Structure 1
C-alpha cells in the first residue's frame, strides 16, 4: 500500500484528531442560545448545563488515561483509528438524542475519542518530525483545534439561524442542533480512512524491534527513500542507543515514571496542561455566548463568532515562528498577557455592571445574572479584552501546551507520560466545564479575578521551572533536564545528531543498517553497539578487543 512521506502532510493530516477536540469545545456554544435546544432539553442552566457540558471532558479524561496502553501495544496510528470509531458512534448518539441522558452518553463516548486523540496526536507528530520543525508540526494540532472550533461553531450558527424562524423562534425544529452534531462525524471518517496511508512511528517500530521497517520509514521521511542517507543513519543510531540504554536499566515504564528525574518532567508536563485549562481559554470557548449576553452588545452569537476567527488566524504566527522564538518565552509572556486582560475585564464588569434583576431581564438574557446595561464603551472594552485574551492564548499557550509535553519524555515512557499530562488537561477541563456556569451565575465578574490569579501563578511557575527545549532531538532531552542548570539559564550545546550525520558523511563513522528486521538492541542488549559503529581512529583498538574476546 502506498505510504505518504511528506512530514508536513502526515503531521497535518494527523492533526485532524485535534480538529475533533475543537468540534468538542464548540459543540455546545453554538446551540446554547437556540430556542430549539432550550425547549427540547428543558432550558438547562447552572448545574444542569454544567453537567451536560462536562460529560465530554469527563469521557476525555478516561480516554487520555487509557490512550497509552493502546498506543504502546497497537501503535500510535491504530490508537488514532480506534478513537475515530468512538467519535462516529458518539456523534450518532448525540444527533439522535431523545433526552439529556442520551445526550450525555453520546458526549461521553465522543469524549473517549478526544481523550485518546489529544494524547496520541502530539506523540505521533513529535516522533515523525525532525527537531528543526518539531514545534511547527506539533503546533498543527492546536491549529486544527481552532479550525474545529470555528467550523463547528459556524455550522451551528448557520443551523441556528437558518432552520425554522431562527434561534429566537420558540417553535424552532430540533434539526437546529441535530444537524451540527451529526455533521461532526465527517472529519473522523476522513481521518479513519486516511491513516491507512500514513506510516507507523519509526520510534514505535524500533521499540517493537521492527528495525527494518523503522529504517525504511526514517528513509522515506528524512532521506528521500535512501536508507544510507547520513541523516537517516544518524537518527537510526541515536534511536538505537537510547532504546538500548532504556533496556539496560531493566525498568518497567510505570516504574520509570516515578524516578525523580522523570517524575520532575511528568509534573511539569501535567502542570502545563493544567495551567492551559486554568488560564480560562476553554471557558471562553464553551460559554462565550453567556459573556457576550452580559456585555449587551450586538448579537451574542455573531459577536462570539469573531473570537473563533481570531483564534484560527493568530495561531498561525506561533506555528511559523515557534521553532525560532522558543517555547519558554511563549509560556511566560502568554501567562502575563492573559492575566492582564482578565483583570481588566473583571474590573470593568465590577465597576460598570449590575445584577440582572426583573427590570433588566429579558427572554434573551434570562440565563445570566450580571449585565452591563446601556454603556456601549464599557461593553466594547469587555468584548475587546475577550478578543485580546484569545489572541494572546492563540499565539502562546495554545500551541506550546501540546508541543512541550510531547517532546520532553524518553521513548520508553513517552506515551504514558503524555497521557498523564493530557489527563491533567481533561481533569481540569471537566471540573471547569461543570463549575463555570454556576460560577458565572453566582459570582459573575469575580470569576475573572480567579482565572487572572491562576495565570499569575503560571507566570511564576514557568519562569522558575520550564527550560527551553527548541532545537534538541527527542533523545537529547535528558541533557536538557538532567544538566542541573536552572530553567532560566540557556542550555547551549552542539547537536549530537548533526555531529553523527557529519561524521557519517565524511566517512569517519560507519553504521550498519539492520538486516532481517533485528537491530542491535534486540540482538544483544549487553553488547556495546549492534550498529557496528567504528571510528577510523579506533579501528586498531576495536580489533584488539575482538581478539582478546
Structure 2
C-alpha cells in the first residue's frame, strides 16, 4: 500500500486524535446549558423528558459532575492501557484502535436514552481520548527529525484547540434545532473525524523505533528512508539515525520487556517525575478556571487559543522547551493574581444561589473592573496557548529511552487525566466556597511550577531521542543543559573523529586496503 512520507502530512492525519479531545470538550460544555439538553435529561421537579420547558433544571449538580467526569475518568484508564497496546501492536495500530473506540462511544452517546447510557458513552469516548493523547505524541516524535519534532508534536495541542472551536460552533448552531436533535446531531457528527483518522492511518508508516525494537530492521530502514531520505536509504541522515537506533536497541537488549515499575527505579525516577509533573502542572495552570469564566464569551477564547498556538508551531524548536514553560508560568501567575485582586477589591458576593441560579457564579463584578477581568482572561489564554499547551505534549516523549517510552508517556498522560478528573469536581465547589480566592490558589501553583521547571526540567530541544538519553546520564544541572550539553557533545564528537583518524592511520588498515604509510 502507498505510504505517505512527508512528516507534515503524517502529523496532520495523526493529530486528529488530539482533535477528538477538543470535540469532546465542546460537545458537552456547549450543550449542557441548552434547554433541550436540560429537559431531556431533567431530574428536577419541572418538565418531563422530550419537552422544551424553559424551567427544566437538567441533571442534578452531582449527577452532571459525574457525566462530565466520565470522560477524563475513562481517559485515565485509556492512557494506562495504551502503554501495553503500543508496545504490543505498535504506535499506529494503537491509535487506530483508539479511533474505533471513539466511533463506538459516539454512537452510544448520540443514541442516549437516559443519563446512564450517556455516562457509559462518555466513558468509552474517554478510553479513546486516553489512548490517542498518550500515543499520538509518541508516534509523531519517533518519526520526526529532531529539528522539527517540537513543531509537529505541538500540533497535537493545535488540533485540540481546533476541535474545541469547530465543535463549539457546530453545537451552537444545532442549539436552534428542536428537541433531542439539538444534541444528537453534534454528538453524531463527532464520529466523522475518527473515521477519517482510522482510514488515513492505513497510508502512514509505522514508527521506525518500534519496528527496530521488534527486530524489523528492513522495515525500519525503509521508513527512515521514506520520511527523512526522500526514499534514498543511503542518505547520510538516514544512515546516522539508523546507527543511533541500532546502538540504543543493542544497549537495551540487556533489559527485558519493562513494566510500569521500571519507571520508578533509581535510574529512571527523575525523568518520570519530570514527565508526570509536566502533565500535572499543565492542568494546574488554571486553564480550567480562566477558560471557563462565565464573564467571557467562550468562542473568543477558543479563537485566541487556536491563533496563539500557531506561534508555538513556528518557533517552538527555536525557543526550546524550558523557556516557554518558564515564560508561560510567569505570565499566567501574573494574570491570575491581577484577577484575584480585581475581584477582591471591586467585586461582591452574588445573591444566595448564585447568578442565574448557578451556585458556582458566587461572585459578581461590574463596570470597568469587569472589563479588566475579561482582558486578563484573554491574556491568560494567550499566555497558555503557545507555552504550556503544546509543550506539555512535546516534552514527555522526549524524556524517555525507547524501551520504556510507550508506557512512560502513557503514565504521564494518565497523570494529566486523573488531575483533569479531580479538577472537574474541585473547581465548581471551590468557586462556591472560597469564591475569588480560587484565582490565588492557581496563581500559587503557577509560581511553584516556575521554580520547579527552572531547577529540574532539562532542555531537550534539537537533540535526537537517543542523545537525550546521554543528557540524563551526564547529570548536568537543568539550567545549564543547553550550553553544557553542546560542549559535551562537541568533545565526544572530537574523540570520535580522533578514533576514526587513528583507525584510518593504523598499519592493519594500510595492509588490508593497500594504502602506503605516510612518512
Q: Same fold (TM over 0.5)?
A: yes
When the two chains are superposed, the root-mean-square deviation of aligned CA atoms in Å is: 2.4
Please tell me whether residue 277 in structure 1 is matched to residue 283 in structure 2.
yes
8 A contact 1:279–1:451 mirrored in 2: yes
Q: Deviations over 1:204-241 (max 9, x none)?
A: 00000000000001001111111111111111100000
Q: Helix, strand or coil: the match of 1:470?
A: coil
C-alpha distance in structure 2 between counterparts of 1:360 and 1:111, whole Å: 31
- Correspondence for 2:318: 324
Match of 2:153 among 131, 138, 141: 138
Report the alpha carbon displacement of residue 39 of structure 1 after superposing the two structures with TM.
2.1
Report the alpha carbon displacement of residue 352 of structure 1 after superposing the two structures with TM.
2.4
Structure 1 residues 176, 481: CA separation in 2 closer, same or farther (over 3 Å shift)? same
Q: Deviations over 1:122-180 (max 9, x none)?
A: 000000001011001100111001101111111111112x224xxxxxxxx12222211
- Correspondence for 2:54: none
Give the TM-score, by structure 2 length: 0.89
Report the alpha carbon displacement of residue 539 of structure 1 after superposing the two structures with TM.
8.3
Match of 2:237 among 231, 241, 244: 231
Structure 1 residues 103, 40: CA separation in 2 closer, same or farther (over 3 Å shift)? same
Please tell me whether residue 392 in structure 1 is matched to residue 383 in structure 2.
yes
Q: Which runs of 5+ in 2 are unaligned?
A: 43-57, 513-519
Which structure's relative contact order is higher, taking Cα pairs within 8 Å and 6+ residues apart?
1
Q: Helix, strand or coil: the match of 1:260?
A: coil
Please tell me whether residue 337 in structure 1 is matched to residue 331 in structure 2.
yes
Q: Write the mapping of 1:399-478 to structure 2, written as runs, cut at 5 A.
A: 399-478=390-469
Q: Helix, strand or coil: the match of 1:121?
A: helix
- Correspondence for 1:36: 36
Please tell me whether residue 377 in structure 1 is matched to residue 381 in structure 2.
no
- Correspondence for 2:251: 245
C-alpha distance in structure 1 between counterparts of 2:353 and 2:422, whole Å: 33
8 A contact 2:353–2:359 mirrored in 1: no
C-alpha distance in structure 1 between counterparts of 2:105 and 2:415, whole Å: 23
Match of 1:78 among 72, 75, 93: 93
Report the alpha carbon displacement of residue 484 of structure 1 after superposing the two structures with TM.
2.2
Structure 1 residues 346, 38: CA separation in 2 closer, same or farther (over 3 Å shift)? farther
C-alpha distance in structure 1 between counterparts of 2:442 and 2:417, whole Å: 17
Please tell me whether residue 221 in structure 1 is matched to residue 227 in structure 2.
yes
C-alpha distance in structure 2 between counterparts of 1:136 and 1:241, whole Å: 27
Structure 1 residues 329, 361: CA separation in 2 closer, same or farther (over 3 Å shift)? closer
Q: Deviations over 1:60-119 (max 9, x none)?
A: 000000101110110100000000111111111111112221111111000000000000
8 A contact 1:283–1:432 mirrored in 2: no
Please tell me whether residue 540 in structure 1 is matched to residue 505 in structure 2.
no
Count matched residues: 490
8 A contact 1:20–1:187 mirrored in 2: yes
Structure 1 residues 441, 39: CA separation in 2 closer, same or farther (over 3 Å shift)? farther
Q: Deviations over 1:25-74 (max 9, x none)?
A: 22221113211122222223543322111110000000000101110110
C-alpha distance in structure 2 between counterparts of 1:53 and 1:178, whole Å: 17
8 A contact 2:471–2:485 mirrored in 1: no
Please tell me whether residue 212 in structure 1 is matched to residue 198 in structure 2.
no
C-alpha distance in structure 2 between counterparts of 1:471 and 1:441, whole Å: 46
Structure 1 residues 543, 280: CA separation in 2 closer, same or farther (over 3 Å shift)? farther
Report the alpha carbon displacement of residue 537 of structure 1 after superposing the two structures with TM.
4.5
Q: Write the mapping of 1:255-270 to structure 2, written as runs, cut at 5 A.
A: 256-270=262-276
Structure 1 residues 140, 27: CA separation in 2 closer, same or farther (over 3 Å shift)? same
C-alpha distance in structure 2 between counterparts of 1:194 and 1:542, whole Å: 54
- Correspondence for 1:348: 342
Q: Which runs of 5+ in 1 are unaligned?
A: 165-172, 510-533, 545-549
C-alpha distance in structure 1 between counterparts of 2:510 and 2:454, whole Å: 47
Give the TM-score, by structure 1 length: 0.85
8 A contact 1:50–1:437 mirrored in 2: no
C-alpha distance in structure 2 between counterparts of 1:14 and 1:79, whole Å: 12
Report the alpha carbon displacement of residue 448 of structure 1 after superposing the two structures with TM.
1.3
C-alpha distance in structure 1 between counterparts of 2:189 and 2:65, whole Å: 24
Please tell me whether residue 112 in structure 1 is matched to residue 80 in structure 2.
no
- Correspondence for 2:53: none
- Correspondence for 1:18: 18
- Correspondence for 1:310: 304
Report the alpha carbon displacement of residue 494 of structure 1 after superposing the two structures with TM.
7.0
Q: Write the mapping of 1:188-207 to structure 2, written as runs, cut at 5 A.
A: 188-207=194-213
Q: Deviations over 1:239-260 (max 9, x none)?
A: 0000100113457354542332
Report the alpha carbon displacement of residue 326 of structure 1 after superposing the two structures with TM.
0.9
Runs of 4+ in 1 over 6 A off after TM superposition: 494-497, 541-544
8 A contact 2:103–2:194 mirrored in 1: yes
Please tell me whether residue 492 in structure 1 is matched to residue 485 in structure 2.
yes
8 A contact 1:472–1:495 mirrored in 2: no
Report the alpha carbon displacement of residue 283 of structure 1 after superposing the two structures with TM.
4.5
Q: Helix, strand or coil: the match of 1:27?
A: helix
8 A contact 2:503–2:509 mirrored in 1: no
Please tell me whether residue 163 in structure 1 is matched to residue 171 in structure 2.
no
Q: Helix, strand or coil: the match of 1:492?
A: helix
Structure 1 residues 538, 158: CA separation in 2 closer, same or farther (over 3 Å shift)? farther
8 A contact 1:91–1:106 mirrored in 2: yes
- Correspondence for 2:51: none
C-alpha distance in structure 2 between counterparts of 1:224 and 1:318, whole Å: 27
